[in-house]
Structures are given as structure tokens and as C-alpha cells.
């Protein structure tokens, strides 16, 4: 147990200087300064932020929209749609990799952020997560709004969404981590290095600056710190065993 903890910590240690000593003394921030000035890291950082932000917002809005009728409305085809959504868990996602590339090519979305974001803009996991949340909203709230003459849209926006804020928060969190770390799809879609997010950019730099391990390591730290910060404040949500996230 301690050995594994040690591995986790040790593995993050060497990024400060390698190979000879594990803990360089005195520690220096010079590497970070060099990286920040000479490499397009701020650019990659901004790209990642943009991708993560738009991915999170799109997922929240679209999943909440799709989940609402599935939880609170009676309409023909509801069961069919719920079944279809569930069946996506069985679909071979990797086939989508090739076909989506062709689709984006036809839509002329290769090398655009839209191409990176759109295929992941709705997650079935998110729809079901929010559907569960909508189911718990008391009916009286909805009835009261309906008597006041509110439209479905108003009920969704003013009544429902405020109540399910905690679930929205959980989805935002998971989506943020997923987009921040996503690597394969941006690697396929983006062709110009100046558009790379950190995950792709870092690997690109590690190829270009193979001799300067420290600089790349400093970049790796920059990429990981925000995630660790977010994680430490929100770890109780991750510890609840949200296993469905892996099924995408």
C-alpha cells in the first residue's frame, strides 16, 4: 500500500530534474520560465482551456435538454429512445474513430475546434446521470409553474435546472477532466501545431525537444497541476464510484 503511494509520489517527483538526483536542491523555477518563454505552452494552455470550456458547456446544455423529456414527459417513442441511448454502450466506439474522421472531412471540419468538440458534445452517460436527477425533482414545483402558465422551456430553465445543480456540477467535473486529458481525438483532427491542446502539444514538444527532458517535464507539471487542484477540491465526487463514465 505504502509502496504504491510511494510510486505515485515518486513518479511525480522526477519531473523536477532528471536523471541523476531525484530532489534537486535548491529547486528552481527556471525550467518553467524557459518553457513558458520558448515553447508555445501558453498557447497550448489557452487551447486546452477553450476546448474544455466549450466541451463542458455543450455537454451540460445538450445533456440537460435531452434528459428532461426522458425523465418528465410522456410522449410516443420515449422507451425506444431510452433503449437506443442504452445500446450505445454496446456499440464499438473505435469504429467511430475512422468514420467520424471521414464525416468531419466531408463537413470540412478537420483541423477545427468544432471537429474536436462536436463528436463528444453529448455524452450518453451525462444524459442518464441528469435523467436520474430530473426524476427526483418534486412534481409540485413543476405543477406550480405550469399553473402560472410557464412554457416547457421556462420550466426547464427556471424550475428544473436550479434544482439539479449538484448533478450538473458532477457532470461538469467529469467532462472537464475528460476533455482536459483527451488526446487521441484532437491528435487525429488537428493538423496545425498551433491549435494543439496541451496533451497533444506536450507529446509534440517531447519529440522536438527530445534532448531537453526538463523543459518537457515542466510542461507536464503545468498540464497536471490544474487537474490536481480541481481534483483535490472535488475528490468526494470521484470517490462515489461513478463507474459508468468508463463505458463511453
Partner 1 sequence: MVSARGQRAVRPRSRLRRRQWRAAAAAYLFLAPALILLGVFTFYPVVFGTALSLYDYDVISPPRFAGTAHFRALWGDRFLWLALGNSLKFLLVVPVLQALSIGLAVAVNVPLRGITWFRAAYYLPVVTSMVVAGLMWRWLYEQDGLLNFLLTRAGLLERPFAWLGHPDLALYAVMFVTLWKGLGYYMVIYLAGLQGIPPEFEDAALVDGASRWQVFRLVTLPLLRPSILLASTISAIAALKVFEEVYVMTGGGPMFRTYTMFFYIFDKGFQQLDLGYAAALAMVLAVAVLAFSALNFRLFREGGWTYH
- Contacts to partner 1 from residues 10-69, by CB under 8 A: 10-12, 14-15, 18-19, 22, 62-63, 65-66, 68-69
Q: In 10 A of CB 206, how many CB atoms? A: 16
**Quick one: 30 or 97, whose CB is closer to partner 1?**
97
- Asked if omega into 19 is within 30° of 0 (cis), the reply is yes
Distance, in Å, from the CA atom of 244 to the CA atom of 167, rounded to the nearest integer, reads 14
Q: In the complex, what is the shortest distance from the CB of residue 209 to partner 1, in angstroms, rounded to a whole number?
A: 12
Q: How far is the CB of 43 from partner 1 (least distance, A)?
A: 17
The dihedral built from the CA positions of residue 212, 217, 223 and 225, taken in this order, carries a sign that is negative
223 makes contact with partner 1 (CB under 8 A):
yes
Residue 235 near partner 1 by CB under 8 A: yes
d(CA 216, CA 204): 10
CB of 62 to partner 1, least distance (A): 5
Window contacting partner 1 (CB under 8 A); options: 31-39, 49-57, 138-146, 182-190: 182-190
DSSP result, 50-84: HHHHHHHHHHHHHHHHHHHHHHH---TTHHHHHHH
Site residues for partner 1, window 102-131 (CB under 8 A)?
102-103, 105, 118-119, 121-122, 124, 127-129
Using CB under 8 A, which of 156, 161, 190, 196 touches partner 1? 156
Candidates 25-33, 34-42, 96-104, 141-149: pick the segment binding partner 1 (CB under 8 A). 96-104
Q: What are residue 68's phi and psi, to 5 degrees?
A: -60, -55
Amino acid at each position: 500500500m505504502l509502496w504504491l503511494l510511494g510510486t505515485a509520489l515518486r513518479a511525480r517527483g522526477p519531473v523536477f530534474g532528471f536523471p541523476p538526483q531525484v530532489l534537486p536542491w535548491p529547486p528552481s523555477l527556471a525550467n518553467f520560465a524557459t518553457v513558458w518563454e520558448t515553447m508555445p505552452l501558453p498557447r497550448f494552455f489557452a487551447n486546452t482551456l477553450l476546448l474544455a470550456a466549450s466541451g463542458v458547456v455543450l455537454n451540460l446544455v445538450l445533456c440537460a435538454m435531452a434528459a428532461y423529456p426522458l425523465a418528465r414527459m410522456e410522449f410516443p417513442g420515449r422507451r425506444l429512445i431510452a433503449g437506443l441511448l442504452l445500446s450505445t454502450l454496446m456499440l464499438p466506439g473505435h469504429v467511430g474513430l475512422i468514420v467520424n474522421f471521414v464525416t468531419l472531412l466531408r463537413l470540412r471540419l478537420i483541423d477545427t475546434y468544432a471537429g474536436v468538440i462536436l463528436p463528444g458534445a453529448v455524452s450518453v452517460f451525462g444524459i442518464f446521470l441528469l435523467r436520474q436527477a430530473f426524476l427526483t425533482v418534486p412534481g409540485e414545483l413543476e405543477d406550480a409553474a405550469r399553473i402560472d402558465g410557464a412554457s416547457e422551456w421556462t420550466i426547464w430553465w427556471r424550475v428544473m435546472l436550479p434544482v439539479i445543480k449538484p448533478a450538473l456540477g458532477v457532470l461538469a467535473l467529469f467532462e472537464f477532466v475528460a476533455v482536459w486529458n483527451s488526446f487521441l481525438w484532437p491528435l487525429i483532427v488537428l493538423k496545425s501545431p498551433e491549435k494543439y491542446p496541451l496533451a497533444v502539444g506536450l507529446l509534440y514538444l517531447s519529440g522536438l525537444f527530445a534532448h531537453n527532458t526538463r523543459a518537457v517535464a515542466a510542461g507536464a507539471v503545468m498540464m497536471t497541476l490544474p487537474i490536481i487542484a480541481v481534483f483535490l477540491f472535488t475528490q468526494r465526487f470521484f470517490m462515489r464510484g461513478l463507474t459508468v463514465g468508463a463505458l463511453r
